[in-house]
Amino acid sequence: MARKIGFYGVLAYVIYALFIYWYLFYFANTSLPFEYEGSKADPATFMNGRELVLSEEYSKIRNILFFLATPFEWIFYLLILLFGLSKVFKDWADKSTKFKFLQTTIYVAWLTFFSFIATFPIGYISYSLSKKYNISTQTFSSWMKDELIDFWVSFGTMVIVVSVLYWIINKSTKRWWLYAWLISIPFTLFMMFLQPVVIDPLYNDFYPLKNKELESKILQLASEANIPAEHVFEVNMAEKTNALNAYVTGIGSNSRIVLWDTTLNRLNDNQILFIMAHEMAHYVEKHLYIGIAGYLLLSLLGLYLTARIMDYVIARWGDSFKLTKVNDVRSLPLLLMIISMLMFISSPLSNTVSRYQETRADRYAIKMTDDTEAAIGTFQELSRAGLSQVNPPLLVKIFRYGHPTMLERISMIEEYELEQRNK
């Protein structure tokens, strides 16, 4: 039975990979609808011929890597269970120490290490791709440093989460999903509070915006929106990427508005003010807190479904997976696989909500700055810098895009301009 499950699992992955390749390279149509040709949303009006070709090439390869990476994790966890490696990790941990917490730490260390090794090639291909298309400026040593930081942060977090989770499961094999969810609430909020001041600085240097004249303009904009901001932060990303970005992170007193220095280098002041107005909209409309509430609701449903699916799988295929009970840490790969699947399945919903919020933020920023030229120029430059498809395939939009497509964003601004002229 184990061989059968493994064979069909790998076969399903291969068929899925072939479908995704066919869809992205042969079926999906990314050409612009004829009514938008020649408009400000038409990439031919703001990209040269080489950029147009490169954006299509880069986007297709990047998209196929995305669609292959997550299901690859499922196959990895499936094979870990079927080959008995999860049991081997547990045996090694049990022989190494008598202390339960240290046993869990050792088990998680082995699972995290093998996961890192298994997924490293995909990560390296993605890094090499971004270097080839001049998106990334990061040296291999710098990229490897970030990968190792990811590994240790992931490992440390996983040890804490798994130790607490399996302690809860041992206490209540029926309602562990509910108790785990209740404990996850303060943990999630605590991690979001720490993110800007503890985790993010591990990767990059953050400091108050150097351009004080620009900072004054941004703070004036914040004042008009009744946002109690004292500083805008910039981060040195030019040594890693040519892409542009700005974002809001953290909660409470640790909330930060952050600009990449690449954004400062490539956009003018009016365009940056539009971006800042967009980010301020998220604060004004409380999108961060709505997002937290939505995440917690989805995680409650996700943990409940995970518990039910784990019970079913162990009851039916426990022998093949070498699992007899849910409260054994050997079931961790199964738990991670199910959670990953549920997150992938739910991503269209979360992306839809995110795109709605981003559209509202765009509208807020346009009304606040009343500068449609800067808004359109910003989106055009974002497309050029990231070699982004203006009109991506439907499946890519559904599963990957937390923002509206550039076609939607620019055409919305053009419609706004038309409305204003007709008033």
Residue 154 three-state SS: helix
Residue 257 three-state SS: strand
Exposure of 86 by Cβ count < 10 A (0-12 exposed, 13-18 middle, 19+ buried)? buried
Exposure of 282 by Cβ count < 10 A (0-12 exposed, 13-18 middle, 19+ buried)? buried
Buried b (16+ CB within 10 A) or exposed e, 318-356: eebbbbeebbbbbbbbbbbbbbbbbeeeebeeebeebbe
Catalytic pick among 73, 215, 234, 279: 279
Q: Which amino acid is at 205?
A: D
CA–CA gap between residue 155 and residue 221 (Å, rounded)? 41
279 is catalytic: yes
Task: Determine the longest span between alpha carbons in the chain, in angstroms.
Answer: 78
Task: For Cα atoms 183, 196, 242, give the angle at the middle one, nearest 5 degrees.
Answer: 130
CA–CA gap between residue 149 and residue 134 (Å, rounded)? 24
Residue 422 three-state SS: coil
Q: Count Cβ atoms below 10 Å from residue 98 Cβ, excluding itself.
A: 8
Would you state the structure tokens that stand for residue 173, as one six-digit string? 């094999």
Q: Could you give the residue numbers annotated as active site?
A: 279
